[in-house]
Amino acid sequence: MEYRIIGSSDLKVSALCLGTMTFGEQNTEADAHSQLDYAVSQGVNFIDTAEMYPVAPRAETVHRTETYIGNWLKRQPRDKLVIATKIAGPARGFSWIRGGPRVNREHIHAAIEGSLKRLQTDYVDLYQIHWPDRYVPMFGATSYDATQEREATAVAEQLHALGELVKTGKVRHIGLSNETPWGVMEFVRCAEQLGLPRIVSIQNAYSLLNRTFEAGLAEVCHHSQVGLLSYSPLAFGWLTGKYLADPRAHGRITLFPGFGQRYNKTNVPAATKEYVRIAQEAGLTPATLALAFARTRRFTGSVILGATTLQQLEENLDSAEVTLTEETLAAIETTHQHYPNPAP
């Protein structure tokens, strides 16, 4: 397993990170602990979660993922692991999270206390804003609409509160998720201007079907020393090829159709078919091709992968040793030019 430093931080993390959003919905606590044990045995030291998990989010299951991880984490050597979690933002109707989540001082302090208690730890290594407090187009929406602007907590206020967590030792580093180039630049500008902690990471979707990060965000993050933690590298299972063979195949797309809307786009099946073909010609599984591609991009800090079975997790982690040939990369680029970002 390769290890990398995330952004401008001192966090040395495995190039593959264990995502946990299935824990508590598709996976039992026993399943979760088995996945955690196996991932660590294969060199994974980076675990990502969130206060709103599992997915699909429901009042009946909210916070369950952090609780499962905490019951496992209390038996582990804490200093050998990098634990990341996230505070939920507004605008998704989660009234069961703090009566309607916001990213202001009151909510930030309440959210971290809840996460620390559930995770059974005194600190988290990386604390992320799951999505912005302000309006931004996200989760499949691609066009900014100024008429959708709403009242939001100023970035400076968010940074002041996060800085308090860093000062007390409850949080080591801070990061963003589902952010835009303007958001990254504003967080960096405010941190420099006010002498507050800098963001070190951004957790955004990145896969063969969604390479939009490569435009404005790649440049901004390069100059700002912000590392990408890429999520959905398998595009909700599309890049395994299983939905080509059976559109009703068991998975998040069929279990939670309203949660994978960004993949309900015209060119997703056609592009996926080409990537599956490229994988087969390279002697790789489609999932291995997709994960190896995301892992080997110059701007990638770590690839967040998730699985519902140990067999899937084993295949995914095996991709850590795969390097794609120039011929395979050229074939990927040809397909990307023909089907650019079908699931942004």
- Active-site residues: which are they? 53
Q: Give the tokens for residue 228.
A: 């990408």
Cα 83 from Cα 106, distance rounded (Å): 23
Half-sphere exposure of 26 (CA within 13 A, CB side): 19
Cα 129 from Cα 272, distance rounded (Å): 31
Residue with tokens 């955004």, as numbered in its chain: 204
Tell me whether residue 143 is exposed, middle or buried, using C-beta atoms within 10 angstroms of its C-beta: 0 to 12, 13 to 18, 19 or more. Answer: exposed
How many other CB atoms sit within 10 Å of the CB of residue 332? Answer: 21
φ and ψ at residue 9, rounded to 5 degrees: -85, -175
At 268, which amino acid appears? V
3-state secondary structure of 132: coil
3-state secondary structure of 86: strand
Q: Give the tokens for residue 153.
A: 């907590």
